């Protein structure tokens, strides 16, 4: 059985629920953002919705795909769809960029990303030189070219929205969004460790376009002025407003129980070495709320959880056999975990695992 609009009765959150007209207005604004990106990038609309929802939910996205399919252009078009206004200064007095790009290479060091203190001969003082991480929108291009030591530069930033540098903590701006691209094949690649992958709200793959779309890509982007006329459609301030609205989207106790049941089943599946963490359920529920808002709904359905479970969880699983796609296990879990009595289901599953 699946919860739908007919049988859903979402609980009211602690904050005031959104009015129908308010949701419709915000949904229209978000739709304009999605449509604007599609002017430049040929990508499945649903995948683009997932990316936009993750941004609105305050999460981070990893684009894992082959080279040359438009990962960087997708990130660039999303950033340029936002009107970044004013000069921002952090609480610690560090200037904040609107958009920055980190082109990853194997010789990049943590200080190249975070920044460092230098001694100024004129003032006889140490001055902090910020790294490219101090921006509202950070594109980390080809993140798996970084060595493990440099990859670790993102850990604190992605979880706490702050970084500790030379004994001092610097807060990162609001909104703050990292979109990382990752090539699936190539030389000198360093796989991202599980704790870092777990910090990404969703992992997406653009994939290759069909014949008709690829012909349009060649015609449009074979010209020097392929980006001509591309403008921003959303003001920076609206991003913060949308992010706060996510908490006001209702999510029923039954839906939360279903999320927990599915997440916990990943830990007991014989094909999985390490299952999804509790953070997975948190990220999944917030992504679902943001996606519901984008689509004009004021509540989260179980059908929506089923739809986004794979892109939100698959990159968090470590399989017993690396050749086994995580999606195979996820499909089985979604097919077998019942909607009703989810508490009893995952409790029995945990007891069986303990017995083994």
Domain coordinates in residue numbering, the chain: 21-243, 249-355
CA distances, 151 to each of 110, 313, 349 (Å): 8, 21, 35
Closest C-alpha to 174, from 96, 102, 92, 113:
96
Closest C-alpha to 241, from 90, 82, 34, 56:
56
Which is more confidently placed, 11 or 169? 169
Residues 6+ positions from 74 with CB-CB distance below 8 Å: 37, 41, 43, 51, 63, 206
Dist CA 215 CA 241 (whole Å): 39
DSSP letter, residue 290: H
Model confidence pLDDT, tens digit, residues 111-156: 999 999 888 787 878 888 999 999 999 999 999 999 999 999 999 9
> What is the per-residue pLDDT for 342?
46
> What is the per-residue pLDDT for 15?
62
Which is more confidently placed, 8 or 99? 99
> What is the per-residue pLDDT for 67?
82
CA distances, 191 to each of 115, 175, 182, 268 (Å): 24, 28, 9, 25
Question: In this structure, what are the phi and psi dihedrals at residue 337, rounded to the nearest 5 degrees?
Answer: -75, 115
Dist CA 54 CA 35 (whole Å): 16
* Alpha-carbon 241 to chain mean position: 18
Closest C-alpha to 143, from 188, 201, 94, 210:
188
Dist CA 255 CA 303 (whole Å): 10
> What is the per-residue pLDDT for 126?
81
Dist CA 77 CA 36 (whole Å): 8
DSSP letter, residue 161: S
Please determine whether the domains at 21-243 and 249-355 fall in the same fold group of CATH: no
Q: What is the CATH number of domain 249-355?
A: 1.10.8.80
pLDDT above 60: residue 158? yes
Q: Which of 2-16, 31-45, 219-233 has the lowest mean pLDDT?
A: 2-16
Q: What is the CATH number of domain 21-243?
A: 3.40.50.300
Question: Could you identify the residue written with the tokens 């509540």?
Answer: 299
> What is the per-residue pLDDT for 208?
87
Dist CA 265 CA 320 (whole Å): 15
> What is the per-residue pLDDT for 229?
85
Helix spans in the chain (H): 20-38, 45-56, 71-80, 110-114, 148-151, 155-160, 194-197, 211-221, 236-246, 253-268, 278-294, 302-313, 326-336, 342-355
Question: In this structure, what are the phi and psi dihedrals at residue 264, rounded to the nearest 5 degrees?
Answer: -70, -30
Question: Could you identify the residue written with the tokens 């004129």?
Answer: 122
Please name the helix (run of DSSP H) or strand (run of DSSP E) that holds residue 270, with its range, or none: none
Q: pLDDT category, 1, cuts 50, 70, 90?
A: very low
Mean pLDDT within 10-33 = 80
CA distances, 111 to each of 155, 170, 184, 322, 355 (Å): 14, 14, 26, 33, 48
**DSSP output for 50-67:** HHHHHHHTT--EEEEE-T
Model confidence pLDDT, tens digit, residues 196-212: 999 999 999 988 888 98
Q: Which of 7-11, 162-166, 220-224 has the lowest mean pLDDT?
A: 7-11
**Neighbour count for residue 339 (Cβ, 10 Å):** 18
Model confidence pLDDT, tens digit, residues 170-204: 999 888 999 999 887 777 789 999 999 999 999 99
Contact 58, 295 (CB under 8 A): no
Q: Percent of the chain having pLDDT more than 90?
A: 64
> What is the per-residue pLDDT for 3?
43
Dist CA 195 CA 182 (whole Å): 16
Report the half-sphere exposure of 39 (CA within 13 A, side-chain side). 19
The neighbouring-strand residues paired with 318 are: 274
């Amino acid at each position: 059985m699946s919860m739908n609009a007919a049988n859903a009765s979402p609980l009211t959150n602690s904050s005031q629920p959104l009015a129908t007209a308010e949701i419709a207005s915000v949904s229209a604004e978000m739709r304009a953002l999605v449509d604007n990106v599609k002017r430049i990038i040929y990508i499945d609309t649903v995948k683009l919705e997932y990316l936009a929802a993750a941004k609105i939910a305050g999460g981070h996205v990893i684009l894992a795909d082959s080279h040359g399919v438009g990962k960087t252009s997708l990130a660039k078009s999303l950033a340029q769809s936002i009107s970044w206004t004013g000069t921002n200064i952090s609480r610690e007095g560090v200037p904040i960029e609107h958009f920055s790009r980190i082109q990853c290479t194997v010789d990049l060091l943590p200080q190249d990303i975070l920044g460092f203190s230098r001694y100024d001969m004129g003032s006889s003082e140490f001055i902090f030189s910020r790294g490219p991480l101090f921006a509202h929108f950070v594109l980390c291009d080809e993140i798996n070219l970084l060595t493990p030591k440099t990859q670790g530069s993102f850990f604190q930033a992605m979880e706490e929205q702050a970084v500790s540098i030379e004994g001092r903590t610097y807060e990162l701006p609001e909104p703050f969004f990292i979109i990382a691209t990752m090539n699936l094949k190539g030389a000198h690649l360093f796989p991202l460790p599980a704790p870092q992958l777990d910090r990404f709200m969703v992992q997406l793959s653009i994939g290759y376009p069909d014949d008709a779309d690829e012909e349009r890509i060649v015609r449009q982007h074979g010209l020097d002025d392929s980006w001509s006329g591309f403008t921003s459609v959303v003001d920076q301030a609206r991003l913060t407003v949308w992010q706060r609205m996510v908490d006001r989207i209702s999510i029923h106790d039954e839906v939360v129980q279903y999320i927990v049941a599915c997440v916990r089943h990943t830990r007991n599946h014989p094909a999985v070495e390490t299952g999804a963490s509790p953070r997975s359920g948190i990220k999944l529920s917030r992504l679902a709320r943001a996606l519901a808002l984008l689509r004009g709904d004021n509540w989260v359905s179980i059908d929506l959880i089923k739809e986004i479970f794979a892109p939100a969880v698959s990159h968090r699983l470590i399989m017993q056999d690396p050749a086994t796609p995580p999606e195979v296990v996820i499909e089985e879990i979604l097919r077998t975990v019942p909607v009703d009595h989810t508490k009893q289901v995952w409790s029995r599953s945990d007891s069986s695992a303990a017995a083994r």
